Structure 1
């Protein structure tokens, strides 16, 4: 471990960024985190960058900067809280899990389209009609997925983990 300002290229070099396979960017400064991602992807494109985002807009900035994977700091806790709320309201725990998975699937199915629409938003404007239309499309798809009848999950429905290719 190295302690210091990771936005300083010298620290990254001292820490061995030349030989790194992965860099996790999880600092509490939005702008600096974007600059770190930009720097690493420009000078060390083979390093996989996993970045923590504060919100959807910040995740788009990190993605635009070149982050290979972005995780919102509140995303998983919000999913967990939503699942608990559903079971507290009497929804069967497995049905609550299905609804959570449906939410995740829906988000993933539309993330590239929303990102592309976000990139088209002009500087200084925080919203565009196309982005709004896509967001409403996402909401409609989510509503439809949440209202599907409960089905007992099959083994194929349960997320599994596959180790990364070591080649």
Structure 2
């Protein structure tokens, strides 16, 4: 068995190649941005520091989202929980993180209550839309898996009869 037998890049589908391309781009971009943030934090003038700190806070949010997704949407820490409960807890925790960072990093003007209300309303709208999209995707994938399972069972049940 050669290495080519294990991973044959010639047999990868266009969607697999696209996923690899996008993952490579995301990792490369993230690493480059972190390096630039480090150098910017060390060497930038005071006028630029606010933008750099804003960028660090966005990176922090991305890290928090990844951890929250790991906690709530994998069975690693939470074994049995209904999807709506997972989504609700994820949404509440993410809102707390975003609201805290919005205050600490001065993302929103403190004197404008309307800005905080708008932030909350927009967060809820985005959460509802994302939830709806993921629910549709989940139902579609579940239907396809059930069809394939039925097909598999049908094919294997005939093999045992012969």
TM-score scaled by length of structure 1: 0.31
Higher CA-based Rg: 2
Task: Flag the structure with higher helix content.
Answer: 2
More strand by percentage: 1
